[in-house]
Amino acid sequence: MSYKCNYCSRTFAKPYGLKRHISDKHEYDVEEEGETSHSNLPWEEPGLWSDDDDNNNDDVYREEPGLWDDDNDDNDLPSYREEPGLWDDDNDDNDLPYREEPGLWDDLPDEPAETRNLDEEIDQDQEIDDLTYPLSIDDEDLRGTTLDDAINDKLYPPNTEWPNDIYREFMEIVMEYQLSNSCGDRIIKLIDKSRHDPDKNQLPKSTKEGRKFLDGTEFPYMKFKTVSITDFQDTTYNFYYQPIIHGIKVLLLQSDVNEEFIYKYRNNDTSAVTVKTYGEQYESDWWNVTEKNISIDNHLLSIIIYADSTTCDHLGKTSEHPIYISIGNIPNWMRNKPNTKVLVGYLPKLKAKDNTTRNSAFFRKLQRQVFQRCLRILLSPILNKEDMYFVVKNKVTSFTPKISVILADLAEAATFTATYLPSTSRHPCCFCLIDNEDLNNMALTNVIMRTPKTMREAIDTDQANELSLHTDFNFFWKFNDFNIYEATVPDRMHMLDLGITKYLLGFTREFLRQKVNARAVKEMDRRLCAIPRYPGLIVLKNGLENISKFTANDYRNIMKVIVFVIDNLYENYNDGGIPCNVLCDVFHIYLKMYIMLRQESFTEMDLVELQVNIKSSNVIQLVK
């Protein structure tokens, strides 16, 4: 049985799919008719898909602890949330709201575009996957980078026609701050009352009318498409994405990105004292070496990838897995702005109907294969490509794109590198082959690094399990002169705020409970609650009782006062404990490390000082 849409010719196998289609595509059509046809739909609660809810602006996007942990709808709230401003480590006011733009899928054709099969290009040593649909990449994804394309972009730059500038700025505010329709309508009424000439620079009659305008407007290089990946337990999983070439062009269309764009390697060594400073990508040794290995007629285009599984509601029952790109040709402060990151896709997240299937080896392997297939579709247009022409600073320039960094938390990093999860691995690091028993050994000097060559040899010789490596083929092995294990690194928010800081606070509470007494834990919470209000400081009303719901910003505020909270917190302690002043020293040393790691640049002396702090005996003593 199929369900046909009354507003277009599309058909669906399930009523739920038809409901979602009508909600996303024909919301305004339904409203204009004055009633909704229910001939093919089961009854649904009134207002279930309405966009008029005044609480829409309260949605919080939380990051899940693990990549695939949302399979069960009864899961508890995730232990930490993604902070607004995904990469903004330095300005808490620079929010990057994670939001699907209205009308994002409106340009998708009803019938799939002509595709070409790339099975013949797959390496002979690649393992055959268990996915339902064969690999196919749209020819359109590969277009738009020739010299003629770049000249055309320069002569006829794409733009969007708006009724007026005030209209455009108003809708930018609505989308950036996720304002509800009722809130936007109040702003429109207020502005209309204060204007002397109501007919000049008119705003939309309502916020909903402005959203309808966005839905019907074609934005340059913002055409998402869908491709089927696999069927699993009566569900088809699709990959929603836009071509990565379009994402690059969206970034290069930004005027501020053009102003700060860097073409060549910059040597920042001071000739007098020869002090090396590590800061921007274009000042790094990687950039210098990579630039020398590409064509002399090309410039290096550094591609940064960021993927993060994100919860989309307060209850933690709806989640997506977006993937973003940015470029390393701009300074760090510029890259922290929301408009210098582009959403290029939503990775499908497989769900199992029972725990037996969810914990099976077949299901986990299928998840990895789906992930690799999506990356192959997204990144194939830049795979070992040269002479890709783009318009930068109003000039047509040829580039060689290279993936420089993949930002991810530990669970995401394990997925990118096809290594075991750190919590269940003998070699928990995706960067090297350090043993889990040596993680606290700061005196270790001989560490073997992972490389694509050694990992492939391990698979060929049946030693993958000994190196905590999955036997699946890794698409990143196909990139020339690229080490996926070296390029995958955690961002500062996950490494510091949601990693070390979170662990250290949890460890301290457990230490007080076991080695001191329960009253010390309560006193710690009481002191946190008793801190007076101060500009720029968030006061935690319940102390650390709700630590599982803390954001990265909450942890940052705790670090500002933690030394004063634990100072003279206790006098006596049980065997195996440490004095309170030693505990304060541990946090003091960590705060010095924390401040240094949040710097935008480092000198050799900074790195030496950081190394000394890491090897501090007090820190090792507590962590052990």
The whole-angstrom separation of Cα 172 and Cα 182 is 16
Which tens digit of pLDDT belongs to each residue from 242-262?
999 999 999 998 888 989 999
* Segment 297-302 mean pLDDT: 94
Who's near 585: CB < 8 A, 6+ residues apart? Answer: 618
pLDDT at 25: 65
% of the chain beyond a pLDDT of 90: 26
Q: Check if the beta carbon of residue 237 is closer than 8 Å to that of residue 348.
A: yes
Which tens digit of pLDDT belongs to each residue from 19-72?
667 766 665 444 444 433 333 333 333 333 333 333 333 333 333 344 444 444
Domain boundaries, the chain: 3-50, 53-106+124-160+218-415, 165-215, 419-471, 493-623
Measured in residues, the chain has a length of 624
Kindly tell me if the per-residue pLDDT of 619 is higher than 90.
no
Q: Grade residue 237 by pLDDT with cuts at 50, 70 and 90.
A: very high
Average pLDDT, the chain: 77
List C-alpha distances in Å: 324 to 29, 419, 475, 620.
32, 22, 18, 36
pLDDT at 486: 92
pLDDT at 313: 64
List C-alpha distances in Å: 205 to 32, 166, 218, 219, 314.
15, 13, 21, 22, 31
pLDDT at 118: 39
* Segment 207-234 mean pLDDT: 81
Q: Pick from 204-218, 393-407, 574-588 the range whose average pLDDT is largest.
A: 393-407
Q: Which segment of 68-72, 90-94, 151-155, 210-214 scores lowest on mean pLDDT?
A: 90-94
| R_g over Cα of the chain | 27
Kindly tell me if the per-residue pLDDT of 186 is higher than 80.
yes
Q: Pick from 218-232, 458-472, 549-563 the range whose average pLDDT is largest.
A: 458-472
Kindly tell me if the per-residue pLDDT of 85 is higher than 50.
no
Which tens digit of pLDDT belongs to each residue from 331-383?
988 888 888 999 999 999 898 988 899 889 899 999 999 999 999 999 999 99
Kindly state the DSSP code that residue 63 receives in the 8-state scheme.
E
pLDDT at 67: 46
Question: Which is higher by pLDDT, 222 or 584?
Answer: 584
